[in-house]
Amino acid sequence: MILDVIVRSLRQRDRLIPVEALLGNCDGSRMPDVVAELLTPAIAEKLLEVCPTAAFGIEEHEGHRCLQLSYGQCIGCGKCMEAGQGSVIAAQRFDWCGVAKPETVRSWDIDARAEITPHVPSPEQARGQIHSLLQRALNIRQLDAGSCNGCEMEITALTNPYYDLERFGIHFVASPKHADMLLVTGPVTRNMADAVRATYEAVPAPKLVIAVGACGCSGGVFAGSHAIVGAVDAVIPVDGYIPGCPPTPAMLAAGILAVLRRRIAK
Amino acid sequence: MKENAPGVSQNGGTPPEAVLAIPQTKQGAVARLVTIFGSLGITGDKRVHYVFDAGDSDYREIVRPGDRPLDSIARSVPAAAWYEREIHDQYGIEFVGQPDPRPLIFHDNWPDAVHPMVDPVDDVPWSNREYRFLQVEGEGIAEVAVGPVHAGVIEPGHFRFSVVGDTVLHLELRHFYTHKGTEKLFEGSSVAAAAMLAESVSGDNCFAHAACYSQAVENAYGIDIPARASAIRLIGLELERLVCHISDVGGLCTDVGFGVAAAYAARIKESLLQASSQCCGTRYWRGIAAPGGLRFDFDSSKVFALSQCVAQAHRDFSDLARLILETPSIQNRFETAGILSLKAARDLAVVGVVARASGMDLDVRRNHPYGRYGLYQFEVPVTHYGDVMARAKIRIAEAAISARLIQETAAALPEGSVSVPILVQGEVRSSSAVESPRGELYYWLEARDGKLTRCHIKSPSFQNWPAMPPAVAGNIIADFPLINKSFNLSYSGCDR
């Protein structure tokens, strides 16, 4: 009976994913990356046309035409990869979890075929960075503002034996009054707007807020609906954004740690 | 074999019926209500569609004019109550004699006079209506209000318990906190693109929604999808069921404080999600099903690897399930908790695991076979106890059947293409049903020249939520989380 269950669990090999393998990992998220060398004006126009959530844009920047990709709007549907003739591929690495809003947008100079302020992957000092976070605890209250429950499934997965967020001293709590951080999913619906504000009010300062998923970051596929108010930042202040539809547990873990790191560095 | 039964609805063009004659089964019983929804004719006239399952191979659809008040059928068919309230909120159609005329999907902030399916919805003003909960009066009765924000990683909804001591006398649900106006968002969308909206109706059942929507489009244009696409869809649908059932049994263990078993179930579930990610690049099979088949072909060797992982997960889960069911403290908590009687189940026309645990023998895969289900022989587990244990046992039995179906299909995966082009033109109406992990999921759609003019989603959660109060009444309030978990309904799927 219960002893049998424990014996079976002890026989299992260790599934814990080391922190180095979590940060930057976006397997299963279908987030896109742009191969700047292959960009042409025609392809850029095509990307704008096929994207269902208007995540792509074209803007003038110092006399150059620039392709912009807003990860907060991307639902990872892969239409751009189908239409991009090789210029859009599935991202091998993703470092835009937990970043501030302006950083969720990347730009490429279409004529020069290069990224503007290209992203340099953070040095592989993950373990050291995480060590600086240890000896602390973080209490998270998850708040569903109208999500489809896809993000909830992945947040729940954070506590399974593969991701085990508790190893970082991070703990999900039942009350906003016990929380340091709100992890808010979904577009904020009209029917949830008051509850979202009240929950935010109940969190003691400093209130950290992360908007999770395409809906939390931008409204996602529900942007423009009569029944929603908007993205999370339309209702309460947001410290960091975790894109994805839904973000994978690795992306969630990376995003939570990134926001925490920024907070401690302040 | 027809790949996409149940077929195109026949009566979109027939004149509406003035009086509703509720269909009967061959045995003379009232047919099971599948759904009721509103639509607009080409001249803007309101219509109400009633869909019943009378035990035939196709569903029976009856259309009535909705421009004048209609008589409510909620007193004779209690399952109709929420549908009528929803149609009133969406279309402003009156139902005379409706036992509960309160708004359903819109809350205090929504003005009475705005019905989004017929009225403009730009800048709808914020209003402050009053909502009255049912009051239970008497000595020693206390009210316990829970939600919309719950303690845990759970979706939002409000529960109002009237209790005497620990015992729940009455539970009133107030949902639709996650109402996102999804049915309205479908309107004007191209039939090809809307599959991704369907995927976001209920995230953990996203593949069932995408497949059901795609099937409805294929039925509308009379298209048979290639055998390979159909087989891969079957794998996706059964994998989703397997993942959900493993997750739900683990969740039941969490709710009775059996943490080791819960972690064990979470591990098995995660192994399947990672195998999916390896197989098709997405953990929950998003962005795969589309009208006409699949968005891309699968590597047969990767499907085989997935099927091996399923075999391992099945072995691990059956071992775990046996241990869980043999644990006396589990038996003590699960047995006799949250009994849903067969009568209540029939009255409320519940579907899925909840129905089968209360003695209703129904499964869309067998009763209205679609895709490749007609090619397989499989058992539909049914029991009559209707308690938490019954629902847990049905889930465990179904997980084993799903694992077998995945392995059989993967072992004989047809070759060929995975998609056929669809020429979207003209005016079409059609429907489709799929047995999602939570039960019968039904899409009805209407399109003109490739653009959707109406898409209705009957979600199993919308159907099953009203069965929660009768199952909870008489139990202690501390058992509510367990009973709720044993139903495992989606809030977003219900609220849409």
- Closest-CA residue of B relative to A230 is B180
- Alpha-carbon distance B107 to B370, whole Å? 38
d(CA A123, CA A130): 13
What's residue B5's pLDDT?
Answer: 40
Query: Residue A263 has what pLDDT?
Result: 82
At residue A122 the predicted structure's pLDDT band, cuts being 50, 70 and 90, is: low
Cβ neighbours of residue B117 under 8 Å, at least 6 residues apart? B38, B40, B90, B91, B183, B184
Model confidence at B6: pLDDT above 60: no
pLDDT attached to residue B3: 39
Of A22, A33, A121, A24, nearest in space to A76 by CA? A33
Amino acid at B417: S
Chain A residues lying within 8 Å of B267, measured CB to CB: 12, 15, 160-162
DSSP B422-438: ----SEEEEEEEEEETT
| Chain A contact probe: residue of B90, B105, B146, B200 with most A CBs at under 10 A | B200
The complex scores an ipTM of 0.92
Two tokens, residue B262? 């819960």
Q: Report the gap between the CA of B142 and the closest CA in chain A (Å).
A: 23
Q: What is the mean pLDDT of residues A244-256?
A: 94
Q: Which residue of B has its CA nearest to A76?
A: B287
- pLDDT of B268 reads 95
Kindly state the percentage of chain A with pLDDT values over 90.
65
Structure tokens at B383: 């029991």
- What pLDDT is stored for residue A124 in this prediction? 52
Using the beta-carbon criterion (under 8 Å), do A160 and B261 form an inter-chain contact? no
- Calculate what percentage of chain A has a pLDDT beyond 70: 92
Query: Do B203 and A186 make contact, defined as CB atoms within 8 angstroms?
Result: no
CATH (one of 3.40.50.970, 3.40.50.300, 1.10.645.10, 3.40.462.20) for B182-464: 1.10.645.10
Q: Please identify which residue in the block is written with the tokens 């899925």.
A: B352
Question: Highest mean pLDDT: which of A165-169, A262-266, B126-130, B491-495?
Answer: B491-495
Confidence of residue B10 (pLDDT cuts 50, 70, 90): very low
- The mean-pLDDT minimum among A158-162, B18-22, B152-156, B234-238 falls in B18-22
CATH topology of domain A32-96+103-115: Alpha-Beta Plaits (3.30.70)
Angstrom distance (rounded) from CA B31 to CA B77: 10
Using the structure block, give the residue that is written with the tokens 């020429």: B423
Task: State the pLDDT at residue B42.
Answer: 87
Q: Which of B201, B263, B287 sits opposite A148 (nearest CB)?
A: B201
pLDDT mean over B447-462:
95
The answer, yes or no, to whether residue B316 has pLDDT greater than 60, is: yes
- Cβ neighbours of B260 in A, within 8 Å: 2, 5-6, 9
Q: Characterize B351-370 residue by residue with b for buried, 16 or more Cβ atoms within 10 angstroms of its Cβ, and e for exposed.
A: bbbbbbbbbbebbbbbbbbb
C-alpha span between A151 and A142 (Å, rounded) = 10
pLDDT confidence of residue A10? 81
| Residue A234 DSSP symbol | G
| pLDDT of B111 above 60 | yes
Phi and psi of B162, rounded to 5°? -105, 120
Q: Which of A148, A224, A245 sits opposite B492 (nearest CB)?
A: A148
pLDDT for B123 beyond 60? yes
Residue A207's alpha-carbon distances to A103, A140, A180, B147, in angstroms, are 21, 10, 6, 21
Which residues of A are less than 8 Å from B494 in CB distance?
Answer: none
* Mean pLDDT (whole number) for B192-197: 92
| Confidence (pTM) | 0.93
pLDDT surpassing 50 at residue A70: yes
Residues 6+ apart with CB under 8 A from B400: B314, B318
Are A30 and B106 an interchain contact pair (Cβ–Cβ within 8 Å)? no
Contacts of A148 in chain B (CB under 8 A): 178, 200-203, 206, 492
Domain with CATH 3.30.70 in chain A: 32-96+103-115
Instruction: Give the pairing type, strands A208-212 and A240-242.
Output: parallel
- Residue of chain B whose Cα is closest to the Cα of A228: B180
Lowest average pLDDT, out of A129-133, B165-169, B226-230, goes to: A129-133
Given a cut of 50, whether residue B226 has pLDDT beyond it is: yes
| Chain A residues closer than 8 Å to B262 by CB | none
**B238 vs A14, higher pLDDT:** B238
Most confident option among A163-167, B118-122, B325-329, B379-383: B379-383
| Rounded Cα–Cα distance for residues A195 and A116 (Å) | 40
- The CA distances from residue B148 to A144, B226, B240, in Å, are 10, 45, 27
Domain A126-265 maps to which CATH number in 1.20.1300.10, 3.50.50.60, 3.40.50.12280, 3.40.50.1010?
Answer: 3.40.50.12280
pLDDT reported for residue B1: 34
CA distance, residue A146 to nearest chain B CA (Å)? 4
In whole angstroms, what is the distance from residue B169 CA to residue B476 CA?
Answer: 9
How many CA atoms within 13 Å lie on the side-chain side of A59?
A: 13
pLDDT number for residue B267: 94
Phi, psi dihedrals of residue B108, rounded to the nearest 5°: -55, -25
Region label for A198, one of left (φ > 0), alpha (ψ between -120 and 50) or beta (otherwise) = alpha
Average pLDDT over all residues of chain A: 89
Whether A182 and A208 have beta carbons less than 8 Å apart is answered as: yes
The pLDDT assigned to A137 comes to: 83
Please report, rounded to a whole number, the percentage of residues in chain B having pLDDT higher than 90.
84
Binning pLDDT at 50, 70 and 90, where does residue B17 land? low
Helices (H), B70-205: 81-91, 182-186, 195-199
A contacts of B196 (beta carbons < 8 Å): 52, 75, 77, 221
Quick check: B13 pLDDT over 70? no
The residue count of chain B comes to: 496
3-state secondary structure of B194: coil
Contacts of A162 in chain B (CB under 8 A): 267, 270, 274
Residues from chain B that touch A155, judged by Cβ atoms under 8 A, are 153
pLDDT at residue number A1: 63
SS3 at position B443: strand
Tens digits of per-residue pLDDT, B22-75? 898 888 888 999 999 999 998 999 999 999 999 888 999 999 999 899 999 999
Nearest to A191 among B177, B281, B319 (CB): B177
Longest CA–CA span in chain A (Å) reads 72
CA A44 to CA B239: how far, in whole Å?
37
Report the residue from B152, B196, B490 with minimal CB separation from A174.
Answer: B152
pLDDT digits (tens, 9 = 90+) for B90-110: 999 999 999 999 999 999 999
Mean pLDDT on A11-15: 85
Residue B21: pLDDT band by 50, 70, 90 thresholds? confident
Task: Give B2's pLDDT tier (boundaries 50, 70, 90).
Answer: very low
Kindly determine whether residue B326 and residue A1, on different chains, have CB atoms separated by under 8 Å: yes
Alpha-carbon gap, residue B136 to B143, rounded angstroms: 9
> Taking 50 as the threshold, does the pLDDT of residue A233 lie above it?
yes
Task: Specify whether the CB–CB gap between B193 and B287 falls below 8 A.
Answer: no
Q: Which amino acid would we find at residue B27?
A: Q
Distance from CA of A246 to the nearest CA of B (A): 9
Q: Indicate if the pLDDT at residue A8 is higher than 90.
A: no
- The domain ranges of chain B are 182-464
Q: How far is CA A111 from CA A65, A69, A115, B326, in A?
A: 7, 16, 11, 68
Which chain B positions have a beta carbon within 8 Å of A157's beta carbon? 266, 269-270, 273
* More confident of the two residues B256 and A63: B256
Nearest CB partner across the interface for B203, out of A27, A150, A175 = A150
**The pLDDT of residue B16:** 53
Rounded mean pLDDT, B476-484:
95
Residue B12 predicted with pLDDT over 60 = no
For B320, name the nearest residue in chain A, comparing CA atoms only: A5
Question: For the segment A123-158, what is each residue's pLDDT rounded down to a tens digit?
Answer: 455 566 666 666 678 899 999 999 999 999 999 999
